Chain A
Amino acid sequence: MSSCETFRELLVFHAEGVLAPESIRQVEEHLASCAACRQESEQIGRIRGWLKEPELFEPEQDLAWELLPGKLAGRAASLPSRRWNLAGLGLPQWAMGAAAIAALACGLIWMMRLHVPRPPAAAIGLAGSGNAAFLDRVHTVYTREATVQYLDGCHALLLDLASTARKCDRNHFDVSLEIARARQLLQQKRMIDAGPSVPNLEQARSLCDDLERFLVNLSTSRECESGDALQLMERSIERGQLLLRIHVVSSDIS
């Protein structure tokens, strides 16, 4: 490699200011004595200058930019939070969380005591119906949480499926990961179905069933599906308004 070629490899980094002092000195000495490299350096500098021009890829000036932050804040505020944010919880939220955990712990202790021989209820004044109500409450909370998780999983899967870009060949897309996730979600759905029936979750149950049908179709797809088959699936998502319904139902039961 000639001296000029060696220095030309460094010109972009020289312009970026990321060279070591010794390299800077050598490059500048060379530029002072080499007109061709000096021209190359000037051209690189001009390209960098143009790339830094604020007008490059700059959006048009209009009112939309002033309004966008407020508009997005409004939309964001109406979205459900999709994950727990322990770091962001304040004292009241921690207190409520601790109380909920304590309640669940009491429930578990009570369930364990079911296996211990007890005196007749009348002797200690316990009302069986009150304990049953508590257990129902625990089951309800569990089923709601499992349903929300299932819906979240379906939501993420549908979005990923619609944007999948892993190609097997020119006309086919690799959906093996999505198939595996669909099978996992089907297992989750079976666990929800095996649990007790919870009132006020009829709308969610109907949506979960629709999603289950979609998941069954997906889980029996080929790992390399054609673009046409994927478009059919996307149309099925749109036709069933699955994403919108997930959004609405998740908001309701959260």
Chain B
Amino acid sequence: MKRVQQGDMHAYQEIVQRYQRKVYRVISTYLHNREDALEVLQDTFLKVYTARSTWESRFSFAGWLYRIAINASIDRFRRADRGHTASLEDVMESQIHQSATVAASVDPLSKLRGQERRRLLEKAVRRLPQRQREVVSLRFFAEMKLEEVAAALDCPLGTVKSNLHKAVMGLKEMMLKQKGVLDYEQL
């Protein structure tokens, strides 16, 4: 990032290359629409560049980057929500139905089960309260340590742990409720 601060565009490209998919996954926990998520992803990295001078090396770059991504995602979600007609759940249900239909026609049963399980889990993650979702996305999708998550969210480590506990238990409960719908003898 220090090289980026000096205007090194190759270093900037390396950063985008390195983080783009992880940041996309974090953004996707807020925005289910691929185009919206891609747009926020680009805005995030452009903001990293325009605000590069405000980053200080004593802080974690990843924490700073994900904070920008989360703020941008929340802003986009709220703006979309303000003048919005369809609810998040409506759109999500419709997407799940569409993709399940396509998947059923081309994939073997086990693969379909895996895809359905992931879709249900994605839906469950999106239903988590905001702080729990932030903790889960940074811990598992951004692959940060709990201490790094605490620094990125600017909150005590104890708060992160407590939210992680609630989130995992909440996801377990939500997934257990799906047991009757799909074949989840594994859970």
Contacts and interface: CB of A to CB of B under 8 A. Distances in A.
B140 A51 contact: yes
B58 to A, nearest CB: 12
Interface stretch (A77-85, A137-145, A179-187, A215-223): A77-85
Interface stretch (B41-49, B61-69, B86-94, B101-109): B41-49
Contact of B20 (A16, A69, A80, A83): A69
Given A47-B175, A59-B24, A88-B5, A73 B79 contact: no
Contact of A73 (B16, B25, B50, B175): B16
A206 B158 CA distance: 53
Given A9-B165, A59-B24, A76-B46, A47 B146 contact: no
Contacts of B50: 76, 79-82
B25 A162 contact: no
A131 interface: no
Q: Tell me what chain B mostly uses at the interface: helix, strand, loop, or mixed.
A: helix
Given A43-B176, A87-B53, 17 more contacts: A12-B168, A50-B117, A51-B171, A57-B125, A58-B21, A59-B24, A59-B25, A60-B34, A73-B9, A73-B13, A81-B52, A83-B53, A85-B5, A85-B53, A163-B78, A227-B82, A230-B82
Interface string B15-55: 01100110011001100001001100110011001111110
Interface of A: 9, 12-13, 16, 18, 43-44, 46-48, 50-53, 55-60, 64-65, 68-70, 72-73, 75-77, 79-85, 87-88, 90, 162-163, 165, 227, 230-231
Contacts of B156: none
Q: Tell me what chain A mostly uses at the interface: helix, strand, loop, or mixed.
A: helix
B169 interface: yes
Given A79-B49, A82-B51, A88-B6, A46 B141 contact: no
A65 B21 contact: yes
Contacts of B171: 47, 51
Contacts of B117: 50
Contacts of B5: 85, 87-88
